[in-house]
Amino acid sequence: NAGVTQTPKFQVLKTGQSMTLQCAQDMNHNSMYWYRQDPGMGLRLIYYSASEGTTDKGEVPNGYNVSRLNKREFSLRLESAAPSQTSVYFCASSERTGSTEAFFGQGTRLTVV
Partner 1 sequence: EDQVTQSPEALRLQEGESSSLNCSYTVSGLRGLFWYRQDPGKGPEFLFTLYSAGEEKEKERLKATLTKKESFLHITAPKPEDSATYLCAVIMIKAAGNKLTFGGGTRVLVKP
| Interaction site with partner 1 (CB under 8 A) | 4, 31, 33, 40-45, 48, 50, 56, 58-59, 90, 92, 94, 96-107
Contact 49, 76 (CB under 8 A): no
Shortest Cβ 82–partner 1 spacing (Å) = 23
Least distance in angstroms from the C-beta of 62 to partner 1: 17
Q: Residue 109 CB, nearest distance to partner 1 (Å)?
A: 8
Measured from the CB atom, the residue of 31 and 85 that comes closer to partner 1 is 31
Q: In the complex with partner 1, which residue's Cβ is closer, 85 or 94? A: 94
The CB-of-110 to partner 1 minimum distance in angstroms stands at 14
CB nearer to partner 1: give 44 or 72: 44
Q: What is the DSSP string of 39-88?
A: TTTEEEEEEEESSTT--EE-S--TTEEEEE-SSSBEEEEESS--GGG-EE
Q: Could you please report the per-residue DSSP string of 25-40?
A: E-S--SEEEEEEEETT
Q: Which helix (H) or strand (E) holds 18?
A: none
